[in-house]
A and B are shown apart, each in its own frame.
Chain A
Amino acid sequence: MSNYSIQSQKLSKLFGRRLIFKDINFLLEEKALFGISGPNGSGKSTLVKIIAGLVASSDGKIIHKNSAGEIIPEKLHNHIGFVSPYIVLYEEFSAWENLKIFAKIRGISLNEERVNNYLVRFLLDERKHDLVKTYSSGMKQRLKFIFALMHSPEVLLFDEPTSNLDEEGKTVVYDIIEEEGKIRIVIIASNEAKDLELCDEVLLLEKFKG
């Protein structure tokens, strides 16, 4: 048991005068498959970024806690794995170099066995020493999953997890989501019905427009 929890308290976000969402409250504990849904522009990505500590909320707050207590924003990145179409990996390096660099900057040693398993699973094993700039968008999306999973974070945030993926890639992603949802908190922001079917609970953002 990780004893990890995420609590949203009266979370609101405004861009200028435009209200994106208002008064979002939820509590996720230990393991959960939590969905965030809503039409384009409803703030799905913004909410996920706020949960990850990448964007500040306009009002309210997100509290990340583990058995040691509340996690300070400076340390939050060690507890989070994030996949989204707007994350870009270093194209001048190979997939393997990228993952090695990320491990070193995080201050952890690269678990080669774990990473190699993911590379095989995501069908990137044979291309792991090729530069990322030679990858297709689908391959880059698969690599982002390894980037998110490599340090065994307590929280996984997947923003449009199946974008750019073929059917084979989607199947691997759905398997991963189901497996991870049994042991940690997984948050999925998507409009795809199939992505949201995996979730135990879905937050509909259009209900939080005020």
Chain B
Amino acid sequence: MIAKSYALFKKDFCSELRTRYAINSLAMFIIVAISVILFSIGNETITESLTGGLFWVVIFFTAMSGLARAFVSEEERGTSLTLQLIASPSTVFTGKLLFNVILVFCMNLIIAILYSALFERFVVQNFPLFMLTFVLGNIGLAVSSTIIAAIIAKAGAKGTLYPVLSFPILLPLILTCVQLTLFSFDGTSFEEAKFELAIVVGYDVIMLTASYMLFDFIWKD
């Protein structure tokens, strides 16, 4: 199954390079969102907690602007049926998830680099904790966004439905990741942050399991 899913991921990757369906919207959103924050702050120095919060707000809305493409583009182009004829549901989900995980990591890495360059209070004291939060948060974000994209792909008002449906599902993840990011700014140890880390690990495991169990029902009419 891994080889088939990888083939599907490669198809999506090549397709993205040719159509720029998600990359352009994600890049534009990152630039616009960070510019708006910088303009609205002006010469003010914002606190660490606000910087950490805004970091995850940008990540959330950027994900909302581009991650739905995994399934929406197939549905809009009418290729969902073709995909159903060549692959099992688990292959499709794994391939799409792999694509979204890599897209989320690249996108969030750019956001983190821009934040550290442009926001003076974005100073990480506990770098391993920040990286672990970043990795676990990105996995959770990619898994949730992929399964929600599969649900909304068959709906009419996709654009509005995606953030509305994602918000309650992603809220526990975003809130915990904001807290962990603040811990990494403060230099809090892993020992003190283990409860929040356990929440994020639990969230990732639950979402991944639930997604694989539900995808069959979502994928077929």
Contacts and interface: CB of A to CB of B under 8 A. Distances in A.
Contacts of B220: 53-56
A91 B18 CA distance: 10
A17 interface: no
Interface in A80-99: 80, 82, 86-93
A87 B84 CA distance: 10
A82 B84 CA distance: 11
With most chain A CB atoms within 10 A of its CB, the pick from B15, B77, B81, B95 is: B81
Interface string A40-81: 000000000100111110000000000000000011010010
B90 A105 contact: no
B87 interface: yes
Contacts of B81: 54, 86-88
A189 B4 CA distance: 31
A105 B94 CA distance: 12
A106 interface: yes
B11 A87 contact: no
B25 interface: no
Interface residues of B, number: 26
A89 to B, nearest CB: 6
Interface in B174-201: none
B44 interface: no
A91 B4 CA distance: 21
A87 B83 CA distance: 10
Interface string B67-96: 000000000011101101111111100010
Contact of A102 (B3, B84, B86, B88): B86
A120 interface: no
Contacts of A88: 77-79, 81-82
A77 B85 contact: yes
B38 interface: no
Contacts of A87: 78, 81-82, 85
A30 B77 CA distance: 35
B221 A54 contact: yes
Contacts of B89: 74
20 contacts: A54-B84, A54-B220, A74-B89, A75-B88, A77-B84, A77-B87, A77-B88, A88-B82, A89-B79, A89-B82, A90-B15, A91-B77, A92-B15, A92-B18, A93-B15, A104-B4, A105-B11, A106-B86, A106-B87, A107-B7
Given A54-B220, A105-B87, A105-B91, 9 more contacts: A54-B85, A55-B220, A90-B79, A90-B82, A92-B15, A93-B14, A93-B15, A101-B11, A105-B4
Interface of A: 49, 52-56, 74-75, 77, 80, 82, 86-93, 101-102, 104-107, 147
